[in-house]
Chains A and B, each alone.
Chain A
Amino acid sequence: MMVTVMRTRIVNCQIFDPATGGDAFPGWVEFENGVITAVGKGQAPAPSAGAEITDIDGQGFTLAPSFVDMYANFCEPGYEYRETVASGSRAAASGGYTAVCLRPDTDPIIQRSDVVRFLLERGVFANMVDIFPIGALSMNMEGQTMAEIGEMAAAGARLVGEGNTFVKRTGFLRRCMEYAGNFGLVVMLTNEDPSLAEGPCHEGFMSTSRGLKCTPVQAEEIAVARHIALAELTGTPTHLVKISSAAGVRLIRDARARGINITASVSIHNLALNEDANAGYDAMTKVWPPLRAEEDRLALLAALEDGTIDIVVSDHDPHVIEGKEVEFDLATVGASSIELTFGVLNTLVERGELKFATVIRALATAPRKIMHLDGGVISAGMPADLVLLDRKAVRKVCGAELVSQGVNTPFDGTDLAGCPVMTFRRGRMTFAA
């Protein structure tokens, strides 16, 4: 009896496998039942008799492991008018992602196992990306009572953190971190001492000349120092989310050299933009952490290259237009970014500011390593989580046409070089341009 095998191949493409570390090579990849079955160089061989193979022509495109976003907001439950797991997942798939970690500050907050389960189920229902809810550390994110971290871990949470909120009591944060360590969770902390923070802009010449409310770099520096100290004290794997300054980079570099168990991320906004983006008072450029000085941006790029900063997050945060079409001071904070991440980073590659290999490491390999996920390499036996990339196509960003429900992007009207053309999650195509 002949058994018909259903296989998919992506042929004639450039394969970029982070495991080999080298350049992309021309070749093909075959997968079946969500798992990579073969990888070859050059022309794909003719299919053997009895095999039913669908070939996808990848001519002119680069195949890489799909992306994992460790910090995004899909606004559900509670703020479905801004985004839902379904709409956010579609946007993520179109950005080349197959996994997304979600901020806890929904309504209700992700602070009990029921919300964790709800989000996991919503993710399954949307069937576009794997959803990883980030559980809150404290009830109502008030920094007073510990959230049921163990229950959330049992329900499937791998990450905990307080979103963009600063845990005020250092002693309480220590206990939360120790406790989270019990369950093998990664603690994700953002870094801004609120008593130094007076506004959404970087304290520098731009804020001075424009009269904008601002926050000095030292607000981040103090928080990063605290979080490094607590990571050392507790031994819990700690991820510092959205580093924005050269001072933050310096502390992290030093801590890693001392062997402290920390990792770090930077948002695409801080990599691509600096304080000058705020100079025209455009509320679309109002993001957090503040867009800092050019020397900070250059330090972040260097830190990403040398691995001091592991990953890039989208910091996807969709808002309705009503929140942005107002005075800068009154506007909501955040940008809808998940589908633009690759284009923004690849534009930096085209400008010579980043290496392509660094982009793939920051989006695909490093986040999987932090989260202990399979994949991130293109070899037989690995999950077929793949993205086909057009590295040359130039397209103009139009906020109103984003896949996300959010229309708010500081990149509106700018040309980005490169975009995902197809995304595969465990072998299933979740996006095709």
Chain B
Amino acid sequence: MENPNTLNHLLALEGLSKETVTSILDHAVGFKEVSKRRIKKVPPLRGVTVVLFFIENSTRTRISFEVAAKRLSADTLNFSASTSSLSKGETLLDTAKNLMAMQPDIIVMRHFAPGAAKFLSERIPAGIVNAGDGPHAHPTQALLDMYTMRERKGRLEGLEVAIVGDIAHSRVARSNIHGLLTMGAKVRLAGPRTMLPTMIDRFPVSVHDRIEPAIEGADVVMMLRIQKERMGKDLFPSDREYARVFGLDSQKLKLAKPDCLVMHPGPMNRGVEITPEVADSTQSVILEQVENGVAVRMAVLFMVARHLGVSEE
């Protein structure tokens, strides 16, 4: 039986129960308050070592996890690809085993290969938190997105959430699909057909090749980052064209509900997938997402530590 108050790992949202997701979000409510104190620190992860194992570059996710761990009084250790022996040809498993020699309790891992977090979770005795594995999953991002929606809307059940952009290459989209469906929200996906993966409609979601029908009457519009390196290659011709057809501007936003939230996992390409006007509007909760990310990651680290029996209540 899954205990909704603990996590052995957090590899993906797929398969997590509604009770567990709710429990993570509820724990995060308490932890969010910590960040508003003068002394932004609580003791439950005292003596716990958290390794931030980032094989793929990341700034904001890594910093968010680091802040989360430190505010729980954990010791953090940074390990990134550019400084590591991985660039010298050591395998992931050997590197991880070397890390284990330092007795970490939790490994927060970002990697370019889908399944990498699962791979490690099956081979080393630490709690693994997936901070993004290729296009597969980014569970804490989806959790902080859901936290933000729930905080603003008071519920997740029945919300109409549009996710727009490069669905095919997006771990954020995949994790949100699983998380939102588990929580009873309705998911609409939109993007150019070159960015909608095969059989995505097998998920109980609606799929659109234009942004307008996806955001019409929506409670939340989540814009995905367009990776500029894909521009002008096979998937779309130019950022100008993308902005006009698939970008979110205030005109298109009028199709959504008047109190529709605008979200973005960052980093944004202003003027491409989202106009500055919309990004900075009162409907935008993009910076709240970042703030909530710390609280949600505190909750996740705490629940993994609790499963390991190393947390203080």
Question: What residues of chain A have their CB less than 8 Å away from a CB belonging to chain B?
Answer: 203-205, 207-212, 214, 216, 280-281, 322, 325-330
For B14, B168, B199, the residue with the greatest tally of chain A CB atoms inside 10 Å of its CB is: B199
| Interface flag for B171 (CB, 8 Å) | yes
**A205 adjacent to B114 (CB under 8 Å):** no
> Measured between C-beta atoms, what is the minimum distance from B81 to chain A in Å?
13
Question: What residues of chain B have their CB less than 8 Å away from a CB belonging to chain A?
Answer: 14, 91-93, 111-116, 118-119, 133-137, 168, 171, 174, 197-200, 202-203
For A214, A280, A281, A327, the residue with the greatest tally of chain B CB atoms inside 10 Å of its CB is: A327
Distance of A326 Cα from B96 Cα, bound (Å):
12
**A281 adjacent to B198 (CB under 8 Å):** no
Chain B residue nearest in CB terms to A329: B113
Report chain B residues within 8 Å CB of A327. 92, 111, 113, 115-116, 119
- How many Cβ-Cβ contacts under 8 Å join chain A to chain B? 60
Which of A209, A211, A326, A328 is close to B91, meaning CB atoms less than 8 Å apart?
A326
Known interface pairs A209-B14, A211-B134, A214-B198; 20 further A-B residue pairs with C-beta atoms within 8 A, sorted by A's residue number: A204-B198, A204-B199, A205-B198, A205-B202, A208-B168, A208-B198, A208-B199, A208-B200, A209-B203, A210-B136, A211-B114, A211-B171, A212-B115, A281-B114, A325-B93, A326-B93, A327-B116, A329-B113, A329-B114, A330-B113
Distance of A204 Cα from B202 Cα, bound (Å):
10
Report chain B residues within 8 Å CB of A329. 112-114, 134
Chain A residue nearest in CB terms to B174: A211
> Measured between C-beta atoms, what is the minimum distance from B95 to chain A in Å?
11
Known pairs A211-B171, A280-B118; A328 contacts B198 (CB<8 A): no
Report chain A residues within 8 Å CB of B197. 207-208
Chosen A-B contacts, 27 in total, with CB atoms closer than 8 Å, are: A203-B198, A204-B199, A205-B198, A205-B199, A208-B197, A208-B202, A209-B14, A209-B174, A210-B114, A210-B115, A210-B136, A211-B133, A211-B135, A211-B174, A212-B136, A216-B198, A280-B118, A325-B93, A326-B91, A327-B92, A327-B115, A327-B116, A327-B119, A328-B113, A328-B115, A328-B119, A329-B112
**A212 adjacent to B199 (CB under 8 Å):** no
Which of B114, B137, B200, B203 is close to A328, meaning CB atoms less than 8 Å apart?
B114
For A209, A325, A326, the residue with the greatest tally of chain B CB atoms inside 10 Å of its CB is: A209
Distance of A207 Cα from B119 Cα, bound (Å):
17
Distance of A281 Cα from B117 Cα, bound (Å):
10
Distance of A212 Cα from B199 Cα, bound (Å):
13
Known pairs A326-B91, A326-B92, A329-B134; A212 contacts B198 (CB<8 A): no
Distance of A327 Cα from B114 Cα, bound (Å):
8
Distance of A207 Cα from B114 Cα, bound (Å):
10
Distance of A281 Cα from B112 Cα, bound (Å):
14
Distance of A395 Cα from B259 Cα, bound (Å):
63
Top-6 shortest CB links A-B: A281-B115, A211-B136, A211-B135, A327-B113, A329-B113, A211-B114
> Measured between C-beta atoms, what is the minimum distance from B310 to chain A in Å?
28
> Measured between C-beta atoms, what is the minimum distance from B191 to chain A in Å?
13
Chain A residue nearest in CB terms to B120: A327
Report chain B residues within 8 Å CB of A204. 198-199
Report chain A residues within 8 Å CB of B112. 329
Report chain B residues within 8 Å CB of A281. 114-115, 118-119
Known pairs A328-B115, A329-B114, A329-B134; A207 contacts B198 (CB<8 A): yes
Report chain A residues within 8 Å CB of B114. 210-212, 281, 328-329
> Measured between C-beta atoms, what is the minimum distance from B235 to chain A in Å?
12
Distance of A105 Cα from B233 Cα, bound (Å):
32
Chain A residue nearest in CB terms to B137: A211
Report chain A residues within 8 Å CB of B116. 327
Report chain B residues within 8 Å CB of A216. 198
Report chain B residues within 8 Å CB of A209. 14, 174, 203
> Measured between C-beta atoms, what is the minimum distance from B11 to chain A in Å?
10
**B91 adjacent to A325 (CB under 8 Å):** yes
